[in-house]
Amino acid sequence: MAKQQKKSFVLRLQPDMYDALEKWAADEFRSVNGQIEYLLHQELKKSKRIK
């Protein structure tokens, strides 16, 4: 089965929010993009919108 390609889009954040995400991502050895993707995935699972 072919690997799904990720979609790209622009996300604008307030500088303080980005700084907080950047620190949080570094604390968990992720990129900011990886951290946002991780957080969104967790919330989608929690709300039972994905498996």
pLDDT score for 1 = 56
Distances (CA, A) of 3 to 6, 30, 34, 41, 44: 9, 22, 18, 18, 21
Closest C-alpha among 45, 22, 49 to residue 33:
22
DSSP 8-state code for residue 51: -
Given a contact cutoff of 8 angstroms between Cβ atoms, the answer to whether 31 and 25 are in contact is: yes
Question: How many CB atoms sit inside 10 A of residue 35's CB?
Answer: 19
pLDDT score for 30 = 98
List pLDDT tens digits, range 1-51: 567 899 999 999 999 999 999 999 999 999 999 999 999 999 999 999 998
pLDDT score for 10 = 96
